[in-house]
Chains A and B, each alone.
Chain A
Amino acid sequence: MADALFLAHTLARLVGGSRSLAVGTNSPIPAAATLLAREQNETMTISILGSPRHTPFTDGGRELFDFAAQGRLEAFFLGGGQIDGAGDINLLAIGDPTRPKLRFPGSFGSAYLYSLVPNIVLFREEHSPRVLVPKVDFISAAGSGPDGTYRPGGPRWLVTGRAVFRFDGQTFRLRSIHPGESLEEVTALTGFAFQLDEDFGETPGPDSATQALLQGPVARELAFAYPQFAARHFPIKDHQP
């Protein structure tokens, strides 16, 4: 399995061209990716929800959502307890949502942002048939449609601990597998059907300059937002020139 630095780099690559990027609560690796993306592009506006140091908003919790509905937010990271082949995500529960077998925290802003933000990057480290399912038990947010609705946004990418998928509007295509993974194993661990993308290959890792950013400024900033996670997975190693 790829480590947190590799995954943060992979996520950051997929949002690098955005002018504005946000991430929700309880998402330490996407938060690290957000910090890396800004290190690599200083003109980018970022918002890490729940981290006052990393959000420019001054008009309360609603401002991010208003900003998104106006089309000002270009990219957002989301996760999922379950993710299916149609790009539907479930952040709510397994089984009957009113008497769940397993309950996740809840849908957060997904039901709204998923259809409004043009570049949604899904991230779930666990790559297994219980997460990547043929059909989610509950649709917190739908991957496409419904037909005839105002829908400027949607999922574009799915990153796991083993692979990167591209979403083509209907289904996922496997773009790359991380170093050390095999196509057979990734296929066996994916519960939904997918095709190979035209330029399928291996996920590139961070170069030395990116590695230095991840272990320097990104690690230092991440410690403000996720102190426990940063201490465990993002040791600060300053590279002297």
Chain B
Amino acid sequence: MFNAEFLDLRQLAEAIPDGSILGIPADYGGVSIAGTLALIRRGARNLSLVAAPVSGLQADLLIGAGAVRQLEAAAVSLGEYGFAHRFTAALKEGSLRMQDATCPALHAGFQAAEKGVPFLPLRGILGSDLLTLRPDWKVIQNPLADEPDPIVLVPAIRPDVALFHAPLADRHGNVWIGVRRELVTLAHAARRCFVTVETIFEGNLLEDPLRAPGTLPHLYVDGVVVAPKGALPLAFSGHYPADHQALNRYAEASRSQEGFEVLLKEWLHG
């Protein structure tokens, strides 16, 4: 637990068993596409994805590849590139169980898990039909108020595994995430955490006063894979832009399952 291992992509995929609850970031927040394709290559099945707090290409790829049983997210979309077609098709076929949420409820769920408490209260949401889709979200009277004050409780979210991409890891297994603090929360919440990184930092990230505050300590990191350009074709903020051509091609090809499979084969073996 307290010693992160350095792995290759195949070992990473083998370390995430079928049926896992997998915590993943938003498409703009450090998605490990390299790790995602490794899971598909392994033939992963029955994953439950939980997005922190939305997803896009990553969820669509895994759904199209038949790896996903359930998805919890506040939204799924390819952003500028349009709808996530494999996600939509799976919902229409009834082959995907969708747990619709709202962004702050997911953030709060991960925060509850990192605190080790069963739930957190949250303002807003009252009046939304999400409450009818989510019987696990409870409305209670604020126990500290004298006046009527209904408030929503959302349960802790404890993923089996967190998977994301980050700029740097050192040889101790510390991972520099920079300003992406939701990745720290996600890692704290999850039982295990695997990270792909652009490159190795020679030295100790925790001893660098500028980098330490943006570092996820090795205590929460179970495995690191060096995977340069591991977020492509998504943008990796501050490092490289999105591959617009690849994403436009994906948005077009994934309109049909056949088109998706042709493109996926290319991405897996290309």
Contacts and interface: CB of A to CB of B under 8 A. Distances in A.
Interface string B75-95: 111011001100110011010
Which of A60, A140, A149 has the most CB atoms of chain B within a 10 A radius of its CB? Answer: A60
B103 A112 contact: yes
Interface stretch (A6-14, A96-104, A123-131): A96-104
Contact of B103 (A100, A109, A148): A109
Contact of A103 (B92, B102, B123, B181): B92
Interface string B29-61: 100000000000000000000001110000000
Given A60-B107, A62-B182, A103-B91, A26 B79 contact: yes
B74 A62 contact: no
Interface in B147-170: 148-151
Using C-beta atoms within 8 Å of the partner chain, give the interface range for chain A.
35 or more
Which of A25, A28, A141, A148 has the most CB atoms of chain B within a 10 A radius of its CB? Answer: A25
A139 to B, nearest CB: 4
Interface string B176-190: 000111111100000
A227 B244 contact: yes
A137 B230 CA distance: 40
Contact of B100 (A60, A92, A99, A109): A92
Which of A28, A65, A138, A229 has the most CB atoms of chain B within a 10 A radius of its CB? Answer: A65
A226 B179 CA distance: 21
A105 to B, nearest CB: 4
A104 to B, nearest CB: 8
Interface of B: 26, 28-29, 52-54, 73-77, 79-80, 83-84, 87-88, 91-92, 94, 98, 100-105, 107-108, 111, 122-130, 133, 148-151, 179-185, 237-238, 241, 244
